[in-house]
């Protein structure tokens, strides 16, 4: 059967390179259903609440502020070692369409725990709505994808092997979800060390959370405790911030982010 040869777009080349970079990371999956009743109640009071991508990203960064292991990278060059970052860096998967082609690009969030939820939400919303060339992280990634194969491989090696560059390109945690499209759990891969995903918030205020973690860095028992702490932060610090947004005295109008 004769087929048609089609070129690989820059967007698909980016994903292919990302999957190649993720091949050697021993990610283990842990999943739990969280009871987010206080969070859901506070969020329901807002006419245009922050999206769950912003909520989860900030909550995880708040937990990472207490747990340095959640902002630690596994680096192999020039020898295998751990590299602890002073602040969390989130790598948020953003679904876009370019020239009629669905694709996924990455938006970087530096220290989301130090930003207001509306600020985190606005950064994600901008990445979902602005023209591609107006998002700095998108431009950077697509420029690398446009390089010839040998230069592209060197660029990816640098991003993976040099600790500071690894944080700049891949962050200390990733976040991806298809909950805005429909129900179902996603188990994404990543260069690591942590990849988060979540489902739809149910009518019973329960939310399925998935965390994939680099087993070289941390074991399952600490991850289970971290998930418990994440649930607590969502229902206290994050719910409290949402509640404050409902109060007219805050003076901060909420910003809506399109779900990813």
Q: Cα–Cα distance between 176 and 195 in angstroms, integer?
A: 8
pLDDT for 260 beyond 50? no
173-193 tens-digit pLDDT: 999 998 877 677 788 989 989
Q: How confident is the model at residue 258 (pLDDT cuts 50, 70, 90)?
A: very low
Average pLDDT, the chain: 91
At residue 249, the pLDDT reads 55
Give me the half-sphere count of Cα atoms (radius 13 Å) on the Cβ side of residue 16. 12
190-223 tens-digit pLDDT: 998 999 999 999 999 999 999 999 999 999 999 9
Q: How confident is the model at residue 131 (pLDDT cuts 50, 70, 90)?
A: very high
At residue 248, the pLDDT reads 58
At residue 179, the pLDDT reads 80
Stated pTM of the model: 0.91
230-256 tens-digit pLDDT: 999 999 999 999 999 987 554 444 443
Looking at per-residue pLDDT, the higher value among 251 and 60 belongs to 60
73-129 tens-digit pLDDT: 999 999 999 999 999 999 999 999 988 899 999 999 999 999 999 999 999 999 999
Helix (H, G, I), strand (E, B) or coil at 118: helix
């Amino acid at each position: 059967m004769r087929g048609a040869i089609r070129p690989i777009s820059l967007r698909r080349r980016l994903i292919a390179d990302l999957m190649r970079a993720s091949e050697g990371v021993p990610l283990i999956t842990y999943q739990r259903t969280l009871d987010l009743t206080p969070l859901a109640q506070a969020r329901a009071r807002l006419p245009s609440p922050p999206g769950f991508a912003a909520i989860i990203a900030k909550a995880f960064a708040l937990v990472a502020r207490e747990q340095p292991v959640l902002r630690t990278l596994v680096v192999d060059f020039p020898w295998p070692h751990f590299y602890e970052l002073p602040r969390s860096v989130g790598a948020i998967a953003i679904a876009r369409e370019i020239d009629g082609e669905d694709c996924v690009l990455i938006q970087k969030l530096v220290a989301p725990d130090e930003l207001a939820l509306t600020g985190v939400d606005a950064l994600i919303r901008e990445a979902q709505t602005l023209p591609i060339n107006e998002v700095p992280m998108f431009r950077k990634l697509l420029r690398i994808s446009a390089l010839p194969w040998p230069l592209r491989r060197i660029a990816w090696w640098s991003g993976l092997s040099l600790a500071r560059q690894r944080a700049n390109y891949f962050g200390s945690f990733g976040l991806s979800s298809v909950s805005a499209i429909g129900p179902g759990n996603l188990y994404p891969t990543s260069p690591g060390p942590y990849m988060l995903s979540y489902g739809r918030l149910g009518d019973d205020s329960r939310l399925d959370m998935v965390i994939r973690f680099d087993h070289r860095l941390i074991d399952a028992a600490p991850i289970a405790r971290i998930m418990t702490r994440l649930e607590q932060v969502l229902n206290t610090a994050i719910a409290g911030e949402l509640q404050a947004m409902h109060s007219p005295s805050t003076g901060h109008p909420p910003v809506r982010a399109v779900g990813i």
